[in-house]
Amino acid sequence: MIKKYAVLTGVIISLVLMLIAISIYPGGSMFDKNSTGFDWTKNFISNLFPARALNGAENPSRIWAYSGMILLPFSYAIFFINMSKKIPEKNAGYILKYGGAANILCMFLIVTPLHDLMLNISITLFWTCMIVITVFILKTRLHLFKFLCIICLLIFYYSIYLWATNDWDLLPIMQKVNFTNSTLLILGLEYFTKQEDFAHIKPGRNKK
Residue 205: pLDDT band (50, 70, 90) is low
Residue count of the chain: 208
- pTM of structure: 0.90
pLDDT digits (tens, 9 = 90+) for 28-85: 999 999 999 999 999 999 899 889 999 999 999 999 998 998 888 899 999 999 999 9
Q: Residue 207 has what pLDDT?
A: 44
How far out from the chain centre does Cα 178 lie?
A: 8
Say which residues have a Cβ less than 8 Å from residue 176's Cβ, sequence separation at least 6.
40, 45
CA distances 11 to 48, 53, 125, 196, Å, are 18, 25, 18, 25
pLDDT digits (tens, 9 = 90+) for 18-44: 999 999 999 999 999 999 999 999 999
pLDDT digits (tens, 9 = 90+) for 114-148: 777 887 898 899 999 999 999 999 999 999 999 99
